[in-house]
Copies of this chain bind each other. A is one copy, B any other.
Amino acid sequence: MAEAVVTVDGWSALHDTRQFDWTSWKLISKEERQAAIDEFQQLISKWEAVEEEKQGSHGVYKVVGNKADFMFIFLRESFEELEQIKTEINKTKLGDFLIPGYSYVSIIEMTMHDPMKAGEDRELSPYVKDRLKPIMPKWEHACFYPMARRRDPGANWFEIEKEERTKLLYEHGMTGRKYAGKVKEIITGSIGLDEWEWGVTLFAHDPLQFKKIVYEMRFDEVTTKYAEFGDFIVGNFLEKEELSIQLSI
């Protein structure tokens, strides 16, 4: 039996996608539409206040393609807050047009021992605290996908030794480092919380970098032999001020 690594865990995460009901939106009056937008912008302002106080972080994205129209990403201290945010969105007037779609529930996690630096404990480092409770970059694009590690005969991630797992993750991390400044990532754990084992949220100025980093990483042994991927969803960052333009008709 291989040994489980100890994780240090940070904020809870909710990825919440919504289809926009354009047909119904066009049926209400211009005044009702404006009131709905104003109310929702106040809600975003509340989220911004939370972020300024470093009690959480959020991002709103316009999704490319028909999987969804919007993706909200929320980081919060507790599952209570994540549920309240969802319900608060649903209670707004705009919520009537934001049809719930795919979502993902997870918690930011890091392994206690940095695979890059053997033997060093992560918990007390301020760098680690920033990564466990991160303010998400307001970069132009975000990408989310869930993943799992295989438990197949001959390729069972949970059976190989911790040292081997650490080595493979170290190599994987080295591939990631090539993209410093181009791609930022947040890793969340979802074993026991949602359908896959981990969630990966990437941020980039150029969405081509999502393709490049995930493609290059596909050749890392940890991916080649052990990774399974869920669906990928990509969105463009939406500024609060942009909402009324996005929804104007």
User: Nearest Cβ distance between residue A67 and chain B, in whole angstroms?
Assistant: 7
A100 — nearest CB in chain B belongs to which residue?
A: B66
Contacts A83-B236, A86-B66, A195-B232 given; does A215 touch B7 at CB 8 Å: yes
User: Nearest Cβ distance between residue A234 and chain B, in whole angstroms?
Assistant: 6
User: Nearest Cβ distance between residue A132 and chain B, in whole angstroms?
Assistant: 12
Does chain B have a CB within 8 A of A80?
A: yes
Q: Which secondary structure characterizes the binding site on chain A? A: mixed
Bound-complex Cα distance A80 to B14 (A): 24
Contact B192 A215, beta carbon cutoff 8 Å: yes
Does chain B have a CB within 8 A of A173?
A: no
Contact A64 B105, beta carbon cutoff 8 Å: yes
Bound-complex Cα distance A215 to B100 (A): 28
Does chain B have a CB within 8 A of A170?
A: no
User: Nearest Cβ distance between residue A224 and chain B, in whole angstroms?
Assistant: 4
Contact B105 A83, beta carbon cutoff 8 Å: no
Bound-complex Cα distance A16 to B211 (A): 20
Contact B231 A211, beta carbon cutoff 8 Å: no
Contact B65 A219, beta carbon cutoff 8 Å: no
Does chain B have a CB within 8 A of A221?
A: yes
Does chain B have a CB within 8 A of A139?
A: no
Contact B100 A19, beta carbon cutoff 8 Å: yes
Contacts A192-B214, A215-B4 given; does A234 touch B79 at CB 8 Å: yes
- Chain B residues near A211: list those with CB within 8 A: 9, 107, 109, 189-193
Task: Scan A221-235; emit 1 where CB is below 8 A from any B CB, else 0.
Answer: 101110100011011
Contact B193 A91, beta carbon cutoff 8 Å: no
User: Nearest Cβ distance between residue A153 and chain B, in whole angstroms?
Assistant: 5
Given A1-B221, A2-B224, 12 more A-B residue pairs with CB atoms under 8 Å apart are: A4-B215, A7-B212, A14-B64, A64-B82, A64-B86, A107-B208, A109-B211, A143-B193, A158-B219, A158-B224, A159-B224, A194-B232
Q: Which 4 A-B pairs have the closest CB atoms?
A: A192-B214, A65-B103, A66-B103, A66-B100
What is the interface of chain A, defined by CB distance below 8 A to chain B?
1-4, 7, 9, 12, 14, 16-17, 19-20, 22-23, 26, 62-67, 69, 79-80, 82-83, 86-87, 90-91, 95-96, 100-105, 107, 109, 140-141, 143, 145, 151-156, 158-159, 171, 189-195, 202, 207-208, 210-216, 218-221, 223-225, 227, 231-232, 234-236, 246, 249
